[in-house]
Structure 1
Amino acid sequence: MLKSSLRRVRRAHRHIAAKLFGAHSACCLACLLLLANTASAEWHYEKQAIMGTEVSVQLWHENAAEAEALIEGVMAEFRRLDDELSPYKKNSELSRVNRDAGRQTVELSAELAALIDKSLWYSEQTGGAFDISYATLGKHYDFRQHKRADTATTKQLLKALNYHNLQFDSAKRTLHFGHPQTRIDLGGIAKGYAVDRAIDILRRAGVHHASVSAGGDSRMIGDKRGQPWLVGIRHPRDKSKNAAVIPLTDTAISTSGDYERFFIDDHHQRVHHIFNPATGRPTETGDGGRGDSDRLISVSIIGPQGFDTDPLSTSVFVLGKQKGLALIDRLPGFEAVVIDSNRRLYFSHGLEQPD
């Protein structure tokens, strides 16, 4: 069960930290010089609600005014991306594409074209487990109102939910929907991309220690002043607890789970926001019964950038434990921590303890 898995995580932490990031050391003279040069430096924090989630920034800087300006620049970038990529804002580029691409070929900005190009690459790599056209049916769900698409609507629109309907020309940066009812949503990749953009802003400004997160997507610059960043993976059935705490340095991590946006239906089934494109319905996660061992309720992917860890966390969730971990083990530079429906925790090969 999860308690025994947690004991395993605690035993593995030292091995994980050493394997991924090496040991941290510094001589006394270096410490004295560092203290002399950073006597006025301190951590700066900010949180704001953007892109339908909580965006947080933490950075080390010696100048409070410059730190404040950098943080505002990061938040402004998140707001810009929300204005362009939100399916809920009528004037966003994504909304324009959804209105027009079913009737005619539309031109895309370089940024949206790059996002769609990456999304389609992951669609191919995962056999369609990652598919931004899930919005075709996803738009008929309202988790606050406990509303979902009925059987007739699901059957009618299932053919429209298929990434092969996205007729994308990367050279011309154009897109046409091969089915008039197809719609797209970048919810499985946009936040990871936004976190990367924020990190780029901070790096260009010379920041060496920082963390930016947007919901389940985080990325770090460097370490936390001589120690790794400790990133908690939330217990999927108890939000007051962590299922694991992972030490990370200069990397990204994305978590997808069935506990962020969901409701329990009249049959006591969990209806959540991660769709299985093959069925047009939320991915089945089960509730700890026989035959549920391959189903996942939480997936965390560690890798170089959020532009990849974000879609990979969704992909592994849909694929299930066996196929999902096999995918990660094939991709160099990525690791996974997953929790199945029996609340047991598993690692990709690179994070497993040696025999």
Structure 2
Amino acid sequence: MNPVQPAQPAVRGGGWLRREEAIMGTSVSVELWSDDRAAGEAAIAAVMADMQRIDWTMSPVKASSELSRINREAATQPVALSNELYGLLERALYFSQLSDGAFDITFASAGQLYDYREQRAPTEAELATARAAIGWQQLLLDPQHRTVRFGHPGMRIDLGGFAKGHAVDRAAAILRGHGIRHAVVAAGGDSYVLGDRRGRPWNIAVRDPRRPDQVVAVLPLEDVAMSTSGDYERFFERNGERFHHVIDPKTGRSAHGLRSVTILAEDGLTSEGLSKSVFVKGLAEGMRLVESQEGVDAIVIDAEGVLHYSSGLLGAAPQSGNPGRQ
């Protein structure tokens, strides 16, 4: 997700500020307007600090994170959770139920077996063992004691983009608390557009999954969350098959049939949860899910590179490009 306009120059002491940092294994950026430069810098610093905090809490690779502790201990005993993480697990289970299991953070039971840098995929035997541990119904929450327990010894969870959706939601709230009314915050494929661009919408680009320097659509947006899931960020190809990080929980393999899914919704948890759900469910079932949700829209690019818009975007006539059929 990228704003396609350049930052505007300062006017009457106010101005556009932008900062980008590497957090949560991805690029995190904030662009905002502030009438006071120092106040704007303080708002950006508060957002980046909270992003770092979320990363230290929810990282699946940092051994000291709360999520890593869950993965180490929850198969043998209930693990007490912070209110924040307990709430996120509740929301994750909500989207699992809504999507009939297409969204499932226990996918990590198989997802952990892939190494995209080393181009390693699990064997059939490894996948068979891992699939037995996948299943959101086996992620057992105790609302009275605020604990989680795994119903299978091989289970692992990974919030992935869901944590980033949460992070951009929190970032928008932090910016509002600092008096910021015009901003875009992005964490990887998840973003939140706060207000407009001082009298006009933010024009937000959706990239071409096969040509990273090209865009397939430009959407005029304000006050909305946007998440994109695709087969092009972390992947490798072997014998004509693309192995990517969006895992179908039912198979433990990369989901196929779509190149990317972009969801617009009121909050980042919804946009992220549905972008993964639609990608796994495929075009027909995924679009039916989108159309059943109030205030949700989608742009889906299928395996042939054809764009499909939900009904709420057809009338908006977004500017679009021609995605590559590669």
Q: With structure 1 as the length reference, what TM-score do the two structures score? A: 0.85
Q: Which residue identity does 1:281 align to in structure 2?
A: R
Report which of the two has the higher share of strand.
2
1:139-198 deviation line (CA, Å, top 9, x unaligned): 111101101111100011211011111111234211110001100000031101000111
Q: Does 1:341 pair with 2:303?
A: yes
Q: Does 1:271 pair with 2:246?
A: no
Determine which of 299, 310, 313 is the counterpart of 1:351: 313
Q: Distance in 2 between matches of 1:137 and 1:70?
A: 39
1:206-228 deviation line (CA, Å, top 9, x unaligned): 11101100111110111011111
**Which position in structure 1 is the counterpart of 2:277?**
315
Determine which of 222, 237, 248 is the counterpart of 2:195: 222
Q: Does 1:138 pair with 2:100?
A: no
Q: Does 1:296 pair with 2:258?
A: yes
Q: Does 1:44 pair with 2:17?
A: yes
Q: Which residue identity does 1:135 align to in structure 2?
A: A
What is the correspondence of 1:196-275 to structure 2 with a 5 Å cutoff? 196-265=169-238, 267-275=239-247
Equivalent residue pairs, number: 307
1:353 CA displacement: 3.6
SS in 2 for 1:189: helix
- Sequence identity, in percent? 46
Q: Which residue identity does 2:18 align to in structure 1?
A: Y
Q: Which residue identity does 2:305 align to in structure 1?
A: R
Determine which of 289, 292, 310 is the counterpart of 1:327: 289
Q: Distance in 1 between matches of 2:84 and 2:215?
A: 35
**Which position in structure 1 is the counterpart of 2:267?**
305
SS in 1 for 2:132: helix
Q: Distance in 1 between matches of 2:145 and 2:194?
A: 35
5+ residue gaps, structure 1: 1-37, 285-294
SS in 2 for 1:231: strand
SS in 1 for 2:161: coil
1:328 CA displacement: 0.6
1:39 CA displacement: 1.4
What is the correspondence of 1:42-191 to structure 2 with a 5 Å cutoff? 42-191=15-164
5+ residue gaps, structure 2: 1-10, 317-326
Q: With structure 2 as the length reference, what TM-score do the two structures score? A: 0.92
- Deviating above 4 A after TM superposition, structure 1's stretches of 4 or more consecutive aligned residues are none
